[in-house]
Homo-oligomer: A and B are copies of this chain.
């Protein structure tokens, strides 16, 4: 035990990202390992949102659409997320929920591949992606088949239009090989849509490099954008001019203030917008992204691997035999550790009551997220210690 503590304290002392923790509002008495569900509050947010409300809305009112940059905020904030997911400016836009963006991307992709009518959906996905894909397929005359990500290369066929994959499995934390799977999908003449909800902000993502067609992601997990913060959509640069998306609201129009009776899509990524954006939530996210200033995503990944490896080691030493990690032990994992456990729901409630906040996922998973921007090795140790207490 003291070996583990020495190791944790030493690792925290030499952590090149230790300074970033100060950018977050945390409690000393709580070990928060649920940043993969709702990121902690960045300290810059309250004052910035107060300014948006009291000055931009309260004083400038309607003028803020131009003078405070509200109108372009979805593209501008997309450009701030772009480097974290390996995209160039102009190809990421923020707005609506992840679910709505999955709908938009699936319909758009199916329209790009006429004659092909099958969509393969990651059978391990967070359910909303599957529900929405079923709905989009129903409306476009396609059909959906659920396959495990590892089976995708074998299941691709001449009728496959699109494959929807999760970069990191929300349940197990398994990280899939974006380059290899995208290459396999493209070899079959199909398109790929990656859901980055559990990888964006946790590890380097290389959308442009792998020539990914579409990606969506949520901003309230590792990007700390606040509860229900709007999602983002990426469209591959050469596909953007042909993007034909179904939510043709006025903000996606080439001349939104022209009030033209006919629809004409905007030339750039604004064509993936829809209605009036939820400005207060959007600018909360904007303020939250300041926590990334000067942060190297490669260092984030190194720290993430170190934290998750150390947590598994602590669990192995302190909680032997009572739980079993279902997260890959090699580097094919995201920034979480999922432990299979009898009575997992009850155990998680007890952990939370004792100040260790993770979450429960059915049927038997204790899920612990390690947000590298603010989680320390001593937090990982404390979580394992409390888990040992609860299970003893």
Contact = CB atoms under 8 A, between A and B. Distances in A.
Interface in A256-309: 257-261, 263, 274-282, 284
Interface stretch (A97-105, A172-180, A184-192, A328-336): A97-105
Tell which of A34, A135, A249 has the most Cβ of chain B within 10 Å: A249
Contacts of A229: 278, 280
Interface stretch (A122-130, A202-210, A380-388): A122-130
**Which 10 pairs across A and B sit closest by C-beta, in order of nearness?**
A97-B275, A99-B249, A99-B275, A227-B279, A128-B250, A278-B281, A41-B58, A131-B263, A281-B281, A228-B279
A243 to B, nearest CB: 13
A275 B62 contact: no
Given A103-B246, A249-B132, A62 B50 contact: no
Interface of A: 25, 27, 32, 34, 37-38, 40-41, 45-46, 49-50, 53-54, 56-59, 61-65, 70, 96-100, 103, 107, 123, 126-128, 130-132, 134-136, 139-140, 146, 218, 220, 226-231, 246-251, 253, 257-261, 263, 274-282, 284, 352, 357, 359, 361-362
B280 A49 contact: yes
Contacts of A274: 97, 99-100
Contacts of A123: 261
11 contacts: A38-B62, A46-B50, A50-B50, A53-B226, A63-B352, A70-B228, A99-B250, A99-B251, A136-B246, A257-B362, A259-B361
B263 A139 contact: no
Given A64-B227, A127-B259, A227-B70, A247 B280 contact: no
Contacts of A46: 50, 53-54, 58
Contact of A53 (B41, B135, B275): B41
Contacts of A37: 62
Given A99-B275, A134-B263, 6 more contacts: A34-B61, A37-B62, A56-B227, A127-B260, A127-B261, A139-B246
Given A54-B41, A103-B246, A131-B250, A258 B126 contact: no
A293 to B, nearest CB: 20
B45 A61 contact: no
Nearest to A57: B41
B53 A45 contact: yes
A368 to B, nearest CB: 13
